[in-house]
């Protein structure tokens, strides 16, 4: 763990250094919004399927959660997901109590521990560099693209410097890279965060205190959820995303003359392909850009026409 913490520190420094390369920010600004939305939709698809898959495997546990979500979506949409989470935790608690599953009360209390970092060549090569590359390719680049597709320009240099510094500060306590997470960005920047675009920052800002509250109960949540029926937590997460998925699909395919590249991007992201330790989000964007370039009309030839 000490060597891993040292690697986390180095990964944070590498993130901060990327903020000094403005060309990277300019390059990501050129990613078309339709491809970013298609990538987001593909990543969300598997998550949105989770409630219905869980309904088939553990219907007694998942049905009350979905029913609660549906009722709240009708009468109080803003509280639908938090209410579904509370119902899920209640169902988990009842199932554990009825099964007589022991849960150690001592495991409910989180403990903060400092780990003195140790720097080794093996950890730098095996953890720090791959973690940096994966974070940039799977989170930061898609995150910037998603924010831009919603009309928000990411300040590249400050974002990298702050996330890098935050990673360095959190590493001795076991935290790894802080990043521009694509899914979190979509939830805070999309229409589900409010109709007024100028006030959607509140959703992102309040997630910070919410994380701190969850951190205080993290040991209890892990202890309880770890003993829950398979698919329960994924089901609740999936219920938070159908609206975002629908918006992403609609935006990705809105241009009737440019649907092939977004469709390929969507399918690649939904496939879950992982190569060289990098997730499908990056490869989906790359595939979409390649297809878009390959199908770009040649100068002097209108779409649908061929040369004589």
Could you tell me how many helices (H) and strands (E) the chain has, helices first?
16, 0
Domain of 193 in residue numbering reads as 2-107+119-294
Task: Say how many domains are in the chain.
Answer: 1
> Domain for residue 100, yes or no?
yes
Q: Which tokens sit at 119?
A: 């720097």
pTM of the shown model: 0.75
Q: Which tokens sit at 153?
A: 């320009």
pLDDT of residue 100: 67
pLDDT, one tens digit for every residue, the chain (308 residues): 889 889 999 999 999 988 888 777 777 777 888 898 898 899 889 888 988 888 888 888 889 999 999 999 999 888 888 899 889 888 888 877 776 666 555 566 777 778 888 888 888 888 888 888 888 888 888 888 888 888 888 888 899 999 999 999 989 888 888 998 878 888 888 887 888 888 888 988 888 898 888 888 887 777 777 777 777 778 888 888 888 888 889 889 888 888 899 999 999 999 988 877 778 888 898 899 999 999 887 665 555 555 44
| Distance of alpha carbon 278 from alpha carbon 210, whole angstroms | 29
| Distance of alpha carbon 71 from alpha carbon 82, whole angstroms | 13
> Domain for residue 113, yes or no?
no
pLDDT of residue 124: 86
Give the HSE-up count for residue 33: Cα atoms under 13 Å, Cβ half-sphere: 14
Question: 209-222 b/e with 16+ CB inside 10 Å = b?
Answer: eeeeeeeeeeebbe
pLDDT of residue 308: 45
């Amino acid at each position: 763990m000490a060597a891993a913490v040292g690697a986390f520190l180095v990964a944070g420094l590498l993130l901060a250094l990327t903020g000094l390369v403005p060309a990277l920010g300019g390059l990501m600004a050129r990613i078309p919004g339709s491809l970013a939305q298609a990538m987001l939709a593909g990543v969300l698809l598997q998550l949105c399927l989770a409630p219905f898959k869980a309904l088939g495997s553990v219907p007694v546990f998942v049905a009350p959660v979905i029913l609660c979500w549906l009722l709240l979506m009708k009468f109080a949409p803003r509280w639908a997901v938090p209410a579904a989470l509370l119902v899920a935790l209640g169902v988990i608690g009842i199932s554990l109590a009825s099964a007589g599953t022991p849960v150690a009360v001592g495991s409910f209390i989180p403990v903060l521990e400092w780990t003195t970092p140790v720097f080794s060549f093996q950890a730098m090569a095996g953890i720090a560099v791959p973690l940096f590359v994966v974070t940039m390719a799977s989170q930061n680049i898609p995150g910037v693209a998603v924010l831009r597709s919603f009309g928000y320009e990411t300040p590249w240099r400050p974002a990298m410097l702050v996330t890098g510094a935050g990673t360095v500060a959190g590493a001795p306590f076991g935290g790894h890279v802080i990043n521009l997470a694509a899914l979190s960005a979509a939830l805070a920047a999309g229409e589900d965060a409010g109709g007024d675009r100028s006030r959607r920052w509140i959703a992102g800002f309040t997630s910070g205190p919410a994380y701190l509250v969850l951190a205080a109960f993290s040991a209890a949540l892990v202890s309880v959820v770890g003993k829950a029926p398979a698919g329960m937590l994924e089901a609740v997460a999936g219920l938070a995303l159908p609206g975002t998925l629908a918006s992403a699909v609609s935006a990705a395919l809105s241009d009737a003359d440019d649907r092939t590249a977004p469709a390929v991007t969507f399918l690649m992201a939904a496939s879950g392909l992982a190569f060289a330790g990098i997730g499908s989000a990056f490869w989906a964007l790359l595939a979409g850009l390649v297809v878009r370039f390959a199908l770009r009309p040649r100068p002097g030839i209108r779409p649908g026409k061929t040369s004589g």
